Amino acid sequence: MGSESYLGFEPSPATREEMETLVLADDDDRFHSSMSSLSAVPATADPLLSPPDPSPSASSPDPPPYADVVFSSYESLPNAAVSSSDSPPLSRNPSSLLDHRSPAEYAKITVSNPKKEHELAANSLVPGSGTFVTYLITSRSLDPGSGPAEISVRRRFRDVVTLADRLAESYRGFFIPPRPDKNVVESQVMHKQEFVEQRRSALEKYLRRLACHPVIGRSDELRAFLRVEGKMPLPASTDVASRMIDGAVRLPKQLFGEAGGGYVAPQEVVQPAKGGRDLLRIFKELKQSVANDWGGAKPQVVEEDKEFLERKEKVQNLEQQLSTASQQAESLVKAQQDIGETLGELGMTFIKLTKFENEEAMHNSQRSRAADVKLVATAAVKTSRLYRELNAQSVKHLDTLHEYLGLMLAVHSAFSDRSSALLSVQTLMSDLSSLHAKAEKHEAASSKIFGGDKTRNHKAEELKRMIRVTEDAKSCALRGYERIKENNRVELERLDKERHDDFLAMMKGFVVNQVGYSEKIANVWAKVAEETSGYARERI
């Protein structure tokens, strides 16, 4: 792995050029952390970011005949442009304050080119089944030793689910970015363009976020997903039903103590019981958790880390506030959008009125009124456009709130990794103590009987063996638990730091945006006020 230097956020010399061109080429990235919702796909894909129409509003019957209404696009508006000639003191560049959170191994990931494909063994009973959509996923590796820099693979959504599942298994305790939702809908809807586009964009976001995670971005799973061409190389998850069936098959063996049953293999113990096939283990741990909740005896190992508990509470509090803030941010954006729209409609109405007065003018006063109306109409249309752009930018900034809200899921997941690992440890320890108790009893009983009983000895041997194995499993589980605890801790720190930076950037971006556009809007109306000031002149 040639990217150790990433830890210090310094690109290795070989890739610095790439990073620099990357940063400069895409102005929008300056605003955002890796958590941004910005996609590299042309802005027309995002309805909110569509470039301003030459005609002021979509419902306009004919475009206005004057050139001064049409102005240049503010689309990819870097900060500098916003603060241009209008307000010199505003030339703050937030990019210098932003963390350049660039991915560990991959310079740029794009998801594009959705295509319908057909499964070979199509089930003709269900209409539409057997077809699915694949996406072209292109990534450029920053690791010079890993083959061609840019590789494209074709993956379907099911593969993404697999990736997510494998990551969840391998990286317990980490805050793994949540994958896009599965949509259990008709395959008709699945193929609709809008849905496909939404999914494409969500996939891109997801993969980029994965790539930006300091640990997961370097994982084998992600690399396999992104760089191994052809069929998806990771083992697929199986559905709950078949797992249960598998588990049910094993259960009798486990219960009757045959070889291979009745205890948990060490390598399995580090996985939570719930998602697995081991029904017996599931039952045992369930029993343990009930005992924890209701039973009198306290388990031998409990969650003691006060610091962790404090932070957990903090995170829960944060989540609550994030949820509210995220909602209100959405309403704010909507309200801004509405006011812009209404201004646009007002402008259109006035344009029509101007035309009407001019056509029907029989007096000069009408003509001058028509000119006044036109002034207001033009200003209203301009302002409407400015609001639209303001909003597009606001969405980008405030999206940080939504992003972090989504991340809370990952945090929950990591915390539950921890608690299920703890539960496994507790269960095993209970097992152990009951095994020890059995062994003691057996010992005590057999010491009263003279002579070796073959079966009795056999049982003693068996018990000893089970104790040994369970001890191993317990050590494994404990180690796993400690590892997860450490992951939690590291991740919490990372969350705090990144959140601080991201929120700050969000606030700055939002505020700067508001200032810039408000100034522009003020100018537009100031001019109109100036030009109509004659009507107010006689007032005292």
Partner 1 sequence: MKLVSRSSSKEIRYSRNNPNSLSKPGSDSAGRYSRALLLPASPSWQDRRKVAMISTQRSLSGSSSQSPRSPSSPLEPFLFVSVTDPVKLGNGVQAYISYRVITKTNFPEYQAPEKIVIRRYSDFVWLRDRLAEKFKGIFIPPLPEKSTVEKFRFSAEFIEMRCQALNVFINRIASHPDLKQSEDLRTFLQEDEETMERARFQETGIFKKKPADLMQLFKDVQSKVSDVVLGKEKPVEETDPEYEKLKNYIFGLEDHLAEAQRQAFRLVKRHRELGDSLSDFGKAIKLLGACEGDSLGKAFSELGSKSEMLSIKLQKEAHNLLMNFEEPLKDYARAVQSIKATMVDRANAFRQQCELAETTKLKEINLDKLMLMRSEKAGDAEIEYNELKAESEEATRRFETIVKLMSEEIVRFQEQKTADMGLAFHEFAKGQAKLANDIANAWRSLLPKLDACS
For partner 1, the closer of residues 180 and 344 by Cβ is 344
Mapped onto helix, strand or coil, the DSSP state of residue 150 is strand
Closest distance to partner 1 from the beta carbon of 530 (Å): 8
Of 71 and 443, which has the nearer Cβ to partner 1? 71
Question: Please, what is the minimum distance in Å from the beta carbon of residue 97 to partner 1?
Answer: 5
In angstroms, give the least distance from the CB of 527 to partner 1.
Answer: 8
- Smaller CB distance to partner 1: residue 294 or 535? 535
Residue 428's closest CA among 474, 472, 478? 474
Between 36 and 83, name the residue whose CB sits nearer to partner 1: 83
For the bound state, the minimum distance from the C-beta of residue 511 to partner 1, rounded and expressed in Å, comes to: 5
Closest to partner 1 by CB, 424 vs 513, is 513
β pairing state of 106-118 and 150-156: unpaired
Minimum gap (Å) between residue 83 Cβ and partner 1: 11
Query: Which one, 56 or 480, has the nearer CB to partner 1?
Result: 56
CB of 121 to partner 1, least distance (A): 52
What's the closest the beta carbon of residue 207 comes to partner 1, in angstroms? 29
Question: What token pair was written down for 202?
Answer: 């969500």
Question: 76: which residues sit within 8 A by CB, 6+ positions away?
Answer: 27, 28, 43
Instruction: For the beta carbon of residue 114, count every other beta carbon within 10 angstroms.
Output: 17
3-state SS class at 139: strand
Beta bridge partners, 155, equal 135
Nearer to partner 1, 19 or 507 (CB): 507
Q: What radius of gyration, in Å, describes the C-alpha atoms of the chain?
A: 32
Residue 42 gets which letter from DSSP?
-
Q: Based on CB atoms, which residue is closest to partner 1, 368 or 433?
A: 368
Smallest gap from Cβ 510 to partner 1, in A, equals 8
In angstroms, give the least distance from the CB of 99 to partner 1. 10
Residues 6+ apart with CB under 8 A from 120: none
Contacts 24+ apart (CB under 8 A), 369-377: 372/532, 374/350, 375/528, 375/531, 375/532, 376/347, 376/350, 376/528, 377/346, 377/347, 377/348, 377/349, 377/350, 377/351, 377/353
Q: Toward partner 1, which CB reaches closer, 227 or 520?
A: 520
Q: Are 34 and 404 in contact (CB under 8 A)?
A: no
β-bridge mates for residue 138, sequence order: 110, 152
Nearer to partner 1, 34 or 110 (CB): 34
CB of 386 to partner 1, least distance (A): 9
Based on the number of CB atoms within 10 Å of its own CB, is 250 exposed (0-12), middle (13-18) or buried (19 or more)? middle
For partner 1, the closer CB: 20 or 313: 313
CB of 402 to partner 1, least distance (A): 13
| Interface ranges with partner 1 (CB under 8 A) | 90, 92, 97, 314, 317-318, 321-322, 324-325, 327-329, 331-332, 334-336, 338-339, 342-343, 345-346, 349-350, 352-353, 356, 360, 362-363, 365-366, 368-369, 372-373, 375-376, 379, 383, 500-501, 503-504, 507-508, 511-512, 514-515, 518-519, 521-526, 528-529, 532-536, 538-540
Q: Is-contact 396 253, C-beta < 8 A?
A: no
Q: Strand order in 131-141's β-sheet?
A: 106-118, 131-141, 150-156
DSSP characters over 68-135: GG-----TT--HHHHTSTT-GGG---GGGTS-----SSEEEEEEEEEEEEE-SS--TTSTTTTEEEEE
